[in-house]
Structure formats: C-alpha cells, structure tokens
Amino acid sequence: MKKEVYDIGGMHCAACSSAVERVTRKLPGVESSDVNLPLNRLTITYDEDKTSSQDIISKIERAGFSAKIRPIEGKSSFGVSPATSSASEEVSLLQEKRSLVTSAIFAGLLLALSMGHMIIPGFPVPDIISSDTHPVNMAILQMILAIPVLFLGRRFFTRGFSSLFRGNPNMDTLVALSASASFIYSLVTTFLITDSPHLVHNLYFESSAVVVAFVSVGKYMEANSKEKTKGAITKLMELAPETAILVDEDAQKEVSSSSIRPGDIVLVKAGARVPLDGIVVSGSGSINEAMLTGESMPVAKGEGSEVIGGSVSVDGVLYVKVTRTGDDTVLSQIIRFVEDAQEKKAPISRLADKVSGVFVPIVMAIAVVAAAIWFIVGKDFFFAIKIFTSVLVIACPCAMGLATPTAIIVGTGLGASRGILIRSGEALETAHKVSVAILDKTGTITEGSPIVTDIISDDQDALMQVGFSLESLSEHPLAKAVCSASNEMGISEAEPITGFENVGGRGVSGFNADGSRVLAGSPTFMKEMGVDISQHEKDIKSLQGMGKTVICVALDDTSLGIIGVSDQVRQSSRLSMERIKSIGIKTVLLTGDNRAAAEHIGDIVGVDEIVAEVLPTEKANVVKRYQDGGEIVMMVGDGINDAPALACADIGCAIGSGSDIAIDSADIVLMNSDLCDVARAITLSRLTIRTIKQNLFWAFFYNVLGIPIATGALYPSFGILLSPMVGAFAMSLSSLFVVSNALRLRRKEI
C-alpha cells in the first residue's frame, strides 16, 4: 500500500471535503481517504497496482477541485518555504480584503437606499430615484448597485453551480441559489413595475447583495482565523535556518543549509541557530532548545554533546560535525509528526462527517418544500422566495466541518510547542479517557543511567574482568554500568566470549577462551542455571532492601561475587506522580527488578501500585490485565523492551530520550523527558476534546435551531420571520465561532 498526501484547491465547506472523500474512495484499491478541511489536505492510502496518482488527481478534478501531490523529500516535504507560503497567503488575503471593502460600500449604499426609510423615518432620498415618484429608477439603481457585489462574489456562483451540476452541492451552492433566486425575482419584478408601481416594495436586490457580502466577510474572517490555527507548524518550519557557516580546511564560508552533508563541520556562533543535527567536536556554550523540547532553561553543551538543528546558541562558540540532514533531522521528524497528527481524524468527527455528506441536499430539499408549502397555503410568491432564500443561507455545513479538525490542529500545535508530540487525532481523543498510567522504572521514573555502588567478592578484579567481558556484549543500561566501573578499575580489554546469549530480563551467558561457562545476571537467573549463591544471600537481601539491583557473576558453577547497581530517581518523578494523581489518574510502577528494590523506588516517588519482577515479554500482559479490568491504560516507557507494552496500551507514551523503537511504538512522545508532561498531555487531551464537543454542539444546535426558524415555523404563532440577510450574518458567525473557540486553546495553561 502507498500513502500520499495531496493539497486540494477549491474546498470551502464540509460538503466539499465529503465530496473529495466520496469520489476518491470509489477508486479501485483505495484503502482509506481522509480530508483535513482547515489544512485543505487529502491523505490517501491505495494499492499502486490498481490505482495511480494520476487517477486520483483526475477523479478529484472531475469533481470540481484541484489536486497536487505534496513533495516528500527534504525540506520540501513541508511544502513551500515558510516565507513564500506566508507571502502568498498575505497577498491573497490582501486582495480579498480590497474586494470586501468594495462590496461593503456598494452593499451599504444599496441597503441604505432600499431600507433606510424603515430604519430612519424621513430618510432623505432624491426625488429622481424616489420609490413613490420614480419607482422604475429606484429599481434600476438598486440593480446597478447589486451587480458589482455579485460580480466580486462571483466565485460563489461559479463554484456553487459547478458543484451542483456535478452532483456535489456545497455551501457555495446554497449561497449561489439563494442570491440568484433573489436577484432573478427582483429583475423580473423590475420589468413589471411600469404597470404595477407598488411592486417596487417587493424588490429583493439588497438581499442578494448583502447575503453575498456577509458571507464573503465571514469567509475572509474564517480564512484569517484558520491561518492562525496553523501557527505551530509555521513556527517549527521557521526554526530551520536557510544558511550555515561551513568550516572547510580552516576557511569559513556561508552556504545554503540544504548543501550541507553529513560529516561536514559547521560553526555556530552565539545568537545563531544550529543549522542541522550534529555532535560538538570543539568549543562549548549553552543551547536553547525550548521550541523543540519545551525545556525553558538553556542546556550546556561541550565536546561530544549532541545538538539539534533549529535550536539557538545562547553563548559560546561551537564547532559541530553534522550527523543528520533533510528528513532525518529531529526538527523534520517533529514537523512530520505534528503534520501526521493534524491530518488524521479523531473518531469523534465521524458523526459530523456523515451529516456533512448529505447536509446540503437535505437543506435544498427543505428550502424547496418550505417555500412550496407557504405558497400553497396562500402566501404570495414574494413570501415563498424569502423563505426559500432564508433556509439556504442560514444553513452552515462549514461549522460542522471545522468543529473537530481546527481543535485538533490547535491542540497538537500547542502540545508540540510544549515538547509534547501527539501522533494522531485518535490518540488525542483517547488520552482524555485514561484512568491508569503504568510507568516503566528504568529510564522513565529513574534516569536510566545506573552506576555500580557495591562490589562484594574475594577477588574483585577477577569478578569485574568476567563481568566486563560479558556485559560489553550487551546494550542493557546495567551492563553499561558494569563496563564503566570496570574501566575505572583499569579493566579495558574484554576476554573473547563465544556462544554469547542474552536471556531477556534475567542475564547473559557465554564461554571464555578456556571453554568455561561464564554467567552474569540476577540471583534468580543464577539459581535457574544451577549456581550456588547461598553465601551471598545476606548481602543480596541487604542491597535489595536499599533499592539496589544485584548482578551475580559466576565462572562455571562457582559464584565469583555480586555487584550492587543503583539508578538515580529523576528529580521530577515525585512531583510528576503528584500531578498525575491530582487529575484522577492511578499510577503504577512496572519493573523487572525485585520487589524490595521496586518498593524502595515506589516509596520515594509515591506511586499507587507496584508490579515487580516482570519480564520484558510480560509487560504487555500486565497492560492487558488492567485493560481487562475496565481501565483505559497509558503506558509510559523509554526502551526497546517497552515497545510491546507501548503498542498494547490504549495510549503509548515514550520518553524522548528513549530508543527509536519505543518512540515508533508510541502515540505520544515527551521530547523533554519530563514526566510532568504525562499529566500535561492528558490535560491537553481533555481541553481539546472539551473544545471539540463545544464546537460540535454549537454546529448542530445552530443548524437544528436556525433552519426551522428560517422555514417560518414561528411565523404562525409569533409572527417571527427570518430575513435572508440575518441568516447570512448568522451563518458567517457560526463558522467564525467554531474557529475562534478552537483558538482559545492556545491561551490555556497545561
């Protein structure tokens, strides 16, 4: 299956996005097709053997829209450069603004001319265009004033009727039909005024013009607000500097960042941005990584330190060897992560999608039926036209289409700015229901960098030599601690080991040059392998009682001694547990360590429950056990052995400093490696879902309430009849409310 992303042109409401989804899903081999309306983007997965990109584009174009594949290589994977994109959008909005000002002037004059006397008694009108003395002149002048407004809003007519004839009516169709009906009715009436002067009071030119003007203003404000929802992506894109200072044979020259290759050396001065990911080979200084990780304090960097492209040098001078470029950089991956999240729909949007797909045809049918009923029961044609027009213009499919994606875009953008990367809308929705947070100990609650604290043996050198030879073949954090301690003791050369075997969660084994079996692992592992460690039982219990992990080392069946290893608890762990529990989430410590060590750590950080002595392969079973008990589980981990549990959990949350496998298995990534962000991620989810529910309630409530009023349902009892102009104004406000409500998220504290 191939996944592609397309930029779609010509979409203006939920009916448009539904039409694009509907026509593309009919293509053979299409597995999924989802449109993000605020981003004007289609994400489609399909079988290349059955459908091609050209088939997709042709199908979309036949439906009345334009389509262009988004490039996926290098920086272009984010579309045009931020500067170009921003300039293009500004020019488009400026042109739109000029048209709106012109429309407003003509519509205002028309409104004053036709309805001024109703608002201000004795409103002065020149005799030559007075409706009493020269009704034909009045009608012609109103028509002349209406034409420029309709011309400037001609896109509603071209797009609206085009969509109608293609069988995909949308919001533009509703506006086009209502404005056309009003204008044509008024035009016919103008020709009848000569014989029936009183018909001048039945003119409807101002309604057609003001409807178009109001909707245009609403669309402009909506577009302006929608651009603000994309701010997080734009800010991230702007972090990547266009140029870099390349150091080549002691010479320095400014070059394009895109020309830099892995292995090149670049100079980063104070105040400059790091152009690409790399390792400091010379110099020292402080780096501000706030926009990437959410860490507000500058981070000290020196020789051997990793730096992230897009971060800012606060002070000092750094010579950086570039390690990653293009799509491989952390910044590129973050942007892609956020874009993916914004493109994927949340399950909560499904109802709105279903309604949007049939909304416009239903509204058109209601408008025709309502107008026909009023005409049949004795109302004149003018009254029926007013009902028809009011129903068409008050209906607002846009609000339903924007309710969910705008909130997700703002929510995921807010998370990204705080160093919380959320993979999808579904993850964002599920996170608000989390009831249990299961946290892996090593590298999550603790720093993940254990150190050797105790060596108990009659021959420490022999013990550490065997331990170093075995553990140097392992990537486990405990193995690295043993190797580091061995190096400090002057042991730097490992004896050759054959038949090396890593028994997950227990220990390692192999054979030395003499053919003797060598072992290193937990006390339980030693007993399973038939090694007698009874002489160390007292020391083992003592070390475990202090929360330390015990590694036993043996040669054949003889114990050489034990090593005590301790991991440092993260400074933020206790505060993190308090914050997680304060929002009603149960905390569980999950570890492969013995019970005593786990309880020692658990007491320090204050977790609710402890599950100890769990093998890596069993972690997913623990998650499932809580799920079977009715809990919605978030698993927080950082390592390779956490990946199955992260994938199994309702929400997998990976620490940003963890392994690539853990991050790939996660729904949420905490870039700042701060466990307080677990509570922040859940809070963000709750705020976003609350905003989505508010938006959906408003969108449905508005239409359910507004459409019946527009049909004249309140007229027989209360004499209330909705003007098409009021309907157009309300429709514009409806969409604006949804977008503005989503933007409120940016001001929330999480």
3-state secondary structure of 270: coil
Neighbours of 161 (CB within 10 A): 16
Radius of gyration over alpha carbons of the chain, in Å?
A: 34
Task: Give which of 513, 520, 417 is closest to 476, Cα–Cα.
Answer: 520
Q: Would you name the residues annotated as active-site residues? A: 440
The answer to whether residues 518 and 462 touch, using CB atoms and an 8 Å cutoff, is no
Q: Specify the amino acid at residue 745.
A: L
Q: How far apart are CA 150 and CA 180, in angstroms?
A: 9
72-78's contacts with Cβ under 8 Å and 24+ in sequence apart are 72/5, 72/327, 73/326, 73/327, 74/258, 74/326, 74/327, 75/240, 75/258, 75/326, 75/332, 77/327, 77/332, 77/336, 78/233, 78/237, 78/332, 78/335, 78/339
Residue 582 backbone zone (phi > 0: left; psi -120 to 50: alpha; other: beta)? alpha
The answer to whether residues 14 and 350 touch, using CB atoms and an 8 Å cutoff, is no
Backbone φ and ψ for 20, nearest 5 degrees, come out as -65, -45
Q: How far apart are CA 680 and CA 420, in angstroms?
A: 8
Greatest Cα pair distance in the chain: 121
The helix or strand, by DSSP H or E, that contains position 219, with its residue range, turns out to be: helix 205-229
Q: How far apart are CA 209 and CA 362, in angstroms?
A: 25
Q: How far apart are CA 500 and CA 513, in angstroms?
A: 12
Q: Specify the amino acid at residue 309.
A: G
Task: Give which of 199, 209, 212 is closest to 138, Cα–Cα.
Answer: 199
The packing angle between helices 171-192 and 205-229, to 10°, is: 160
Q: How far apart are CA 126 and CA 108, in angstroms?
A: 17
Q: How far apart are CA 455 and CA 468, in angstroms?
A: 13
Dihedral of alpha carbons 411, 413, 416, 418, sign = negative
Question: Which residues, 6+ apart, have CB-to-CB distance to 215 below 8 Å?
Answer: 153, 156, 175, 393, 728, 731, 732
3-state secondary structure of 261: coil
Q: How far apart are CA 510 and CA 170, in angstroms?
A: 70
The answer to whether residues 222 and 735 touch, using CB atoms and an 8 Å cutoff, is yes
How are strands ordered across the β-sheet holding 609-611?
A: 420-422, 668-670, 651-655, 633-637, 436-440, 586-590, 609-611
The answer to whether residues 616 and 638 touch, using CB atoms and an 8 Å cutoff, is no
The answer to whether residues 291 and 235 touch, using CB atoms and an 8 Å cutoff, is yes
Q: How far apart are CA 17 and CA 360, in angstroms?
A: 12
Give the Cα-Cα-Cα angle 345, 349, 352 (nearest 5 degrees).
135
- 88-112 b/e (C-beta count within 10 Å ≥ 16 → b): eeeeeeeebeebbeebbebbebbbb
Neighbours of 1 (CB within 10 A): 10
Q: How far apart are CA 81 and CA 91, in angstroms?
A: 16
Task: Give which of 133, 136, 115 is closest to 192, Cα–Cα.
Answer: 136
